[in-house]
Amino acid sequence: MRLSDLQTPALVVERRLLESNLDTMAAALPGRRLRPHVKAFKTTALARLMADRGHTGFTCATIREVEGMAAAGLGEDLLLANEVLDARRLGAVAATGARVTVAVDSDVTVEAAAAGGVREVVIDVDVGLPRCGCAPADAGRLADLARSKGLEVRGVMGYEGHVMLVEDPAEKLRQTQECMERLLAAAADVGGDLVSAGGTGTYRENTWATEIQAGSYCLMDTTYASAGLPFAQALTVLTQVVSTSPQGWAVANLGLKSLGMDHGNPTIPGALVWFCSDEHTTFSELDVQVGDLLRALPAHVDPTVALHERMHLVDDDEVLETWPVDLRGW
């Protein structure tokens, strides 16, 4: 198959760029220093490439991801880095022999883990991002509660997500250290071996965590590309020009239903993107004809991937493989 054979819009991943990204990260964070976050790509075929490079523990964001990874034989060590109030599906996965750990940050989520048949937890700690996580001073109490329910407490996790795109290197390092001091204080009260944190944006700065939960590095997007990271934008969305105007604009057949838009418009190299609507992206300043194929760069890779049923591994114009995005959905 060639690119011209694909139905657009379509996720397209350049093999050489993907492999370069995977190798670069594997050299920086070998083996268990990296716990790749599958929410960024939601594809077990890609996760298997990471496992082949020695990353055999994975971070998940949904129960569906945990189930799919275990079913694909990638369940050696799965961390659901998210609070759930009904853990029965997780307990069922653990009963098959997969190792499943879930994040907890309250009495209620501890109770849910125990009731659902999960055997292992980490204490999720608020390190500065106003999202999930208990107060650092409460982490030890929650760990004690979890152990009283028969749960093994593997350690702590925290996410310094608000630091990922800080531009000044010294300021990013300072804020990362501040976040990790909170997490390490909680870890001293909690016990266990894991201090799980970080992401693509702080994988170099965060030397305090025992493992880094990076995921976007493998495919990348324009938001992270602006941060000067040593990873190439391997993923693009193949689109086709469906209309042109004598007034100077053109329209491609990708829009809100095929792009994660929370970080802004996609980039079409050489063009000025005006706006996106349900099925269309309107742009100018690029000489195109109806039928031309273009490759748009999404601003946020994670939700973009989740909108598609498959991604195509390519070498320039040649389609090498087609992978189902088999971890999407709930």
pLDDT tens digit sequence for 224-244: 999 999 999 999 999 999 999
**Per-residue confidence band for 20, with pLDDT thresholds at 50, 70 and 90:** very high
Q: Give me the residue label for tokens 């198959």.
A: 1
Over the chain, what is the mean pLDDT? Answer: 98
**Per-residue confidence band for 258, with pLDDT thresholds at 50, 70 and 90:** very high
Would you tell me how many other CB atoms lie within 10 Å of the CB of residue 215?
A: 24
Architecture of the domain whose range is 17-217: Alpha-Beta Barrel (3.20)
Strands 57-60 and 249-252: unpaired
- What is the b/e burial string over 20-49, where b = at least 16 CB atoms within 10 angstroms of the residue's CB? ebbebbbeebeeebbbbbbbbbbbbbbbeb
Q: What is the pLDDT of residue 33?
A: 98
Write out the E strands in 64-218.
77-80, 100-104, 120-124, 152-157, 194-197, 211-212
CATH fit for domain 3-11+231-324, picks 3.30.70.2860, 2.60.40.10, 3.30.300.30, 2.40.37.20: 2.40.37.20
* pLDDT, mean of residues 186-203: 98
CATH 2.40.37.20 in the chain is located at 3-11+231-324
**Per-residue confidence band for 38, with pLDDT thresholds at 50, 70 and 90:** very high
Q: What is the pLDDT of residue 293?
A: 98
CATH 3.20.20.10 in the chain is located at 17-217
